[in-house]
Amino acid sequence: MSFNNQITSEEETLRQKEIMERLKERIANISKELGRPLTYCSICFGCQMNAKDSEKLEGILETIGYVRTDSEDCDFLIMNTCTVRENANLRVYGRLGQLKKYKKKNPHMMIALCGCMMQESLVVEKIKESYRHVDIIFGTHNVFKLAELIETKLDTKGMVIDIWEGTSEIVEDLPSDRKYSFKCGVNIMYGCNNFCSYCIVPYVRGRERSRKPEDIIKEIKELVADGVVEIMLLGQNVNSYGKTLEPKVSFAKLLEMIEEIEGLKRIRFMTSHPKDLSDELIEVMANSKKICKHLHLPVQSGSSKVLKDMNRSYTKEDYLTLVDKIKTAIPDISLTTDIIVGFPTETEEDFMETLDVVKRVRYDSAFTFIYSKRTGTPAANMEFASTDEQIKERFDLLLNEVQNIAKETCARFEGTTQEVLVEGVNEQDASLVTGRLSNNLLVHFPGTSDMIGKFMEVKLKESKGFYYLGETV
């Protein structure tokens, strides 16, 4: 299935809002019969794109009258799934088995599954056969239809399944329940066109499609008017933003437009693909007063041979040249990355190339992973050049190197005073608050809950490797 080409995105937004109004009355009536509000529990696995989708799903549920609870013993449970690694699927199946007891106890309970895992036909077939207590299944392309799917389920006895293979449309202006009052993620595009050989994302998220810049600007302005001071621009590859638009708008140009929004203090974005990071973008970042001094630039491997096998479309030399450009233009930039150890074709020599990149770039932090075979990707059919034991030894060596370098690089701001956005009360010590620097490092310092969402000048007294201890000035 795909978007109904007979109606526009604007008309679809109005249609969904009308459904929500109808459903709000029905939920209120059920609640009245039961003598209590209907509750919902939202479970989200995976990336920030999934987290943003869950905010939209929760916004719809709140709009139609459900009340949030953390208990899975609720009236409506929605699970937003991830399928990047196969063990993520097993976690969902295990959770579904446990939910059956709640469903038996509460005849009003509905269980809904959505997200990347649901885009796999074999998964949907397994759920249909083995987990008949699931009520609603939908994927990544029609999150906006949740209210309609609930309405359909209330009128239907069987399982409601609505999976789209893809869509070119983006439905705007639907409810969203934000996790934070002062910061928020904003989708600027959906899907991915890169087809890295180890990654399932393009198959479950579909082809790239960019939101119109005017819709993005409108959303951010509304967020700022509601108290948001920091936004995180989200996309599988934000650097390729705008290629599907007419006229085309570069990511750098979009950032310049966002920079002009009054009241917005900080701009973050992720994720950046090295092959699409332009000189124009580096220049905009260097000249910006709002773009945070942090860039997440996944390298994945330091071996040009392995990078070719991964279908990453750049070489080791390309990556290092790009890093030099970035550091020259923005000397105080914080660089972070993703690295995969044990890709099927990786040899000891290839791994040493990765280690060489880590030593030369000197990342502030790195997310390191041992390669996990993902059925449905080209890499899943490749022969392994190394044993599990060799891969584990390499991973430990890499982790040690990354951590030692990070302790040194992150300590370079020790003794300076920096602007910190306070994000919450410290979880281990209630006399402290936790905030975030422009470069994405955390700082813990004495404070109170009324500081949350505010910018504070903080002296960084002591570096603890991946975070600082400080005091307000």
Structure tokens at 128: 């249909």
Do residues 144 and 16 lie in contact, with contact meaning Cβ atoms separated by under 8 Å?
A: yes
Q: Does position 160 have pLDDT exceeding 60, yes or no?
A: yes
Instruction: Give the residue from 79, 56, 64 showing the smallest Cα distance to 31.
Output: 64
Name the β-bridge partners of 458. 418, 472
Question: Going by C-beta distance under 8 Å and a sequence separation of 6 or more, which residues neighbour residue 412?
Answer: none
- Between 58-67, 69-78, 133-142, 165-174, the lowest mean confidence (pLDDT) is in 165-174
Give the mean pLDDT of 261-274: 96
Q: According to the model, what pLDDT value does residue 204 have?
A: 85
Residue 206 pLDDT > 90, yes or no?
A: no
Separation of alpha carbons 277 and 370, rounded Å: 26
| pLDDT band at 256; cut points 50, 70, 90 | very high
Local confidence band at 3 (pLDDT 50, 70, 90 cut-offs)? very low
Provide the whole-model pTM. Answer: 0.85
User: Is the pLDDT at 170 greater than 80, yes or no?
Assistant: no
Measured from the Cβ of residue 332, the count of other Cβ atoms closer than 10 Å reads 10
54 with 42: CB under 8 angstroms?
Answer: yes
pLDDT 10s digits, 362-401: 999 999 999 988 888 999 999 999 999 999 999 999 999 9
- 444 vs 375, more confident: 444
Half-sphere exposure for 243 (CA within 13 Å, toward CB): 12
Does residue 335 contact residue 363 with C-beta atoms inside 8 Å? yes
Tell me how far the alpha carbon of residue 469 is from its chain's centroid. 28
Task: Report percent pLDDT > 70 for the chain.
Answer: 98
Q: What is the pLDDT of residue 332?
A: 92
Q: Token pair of 366, please?
A: 């790195």
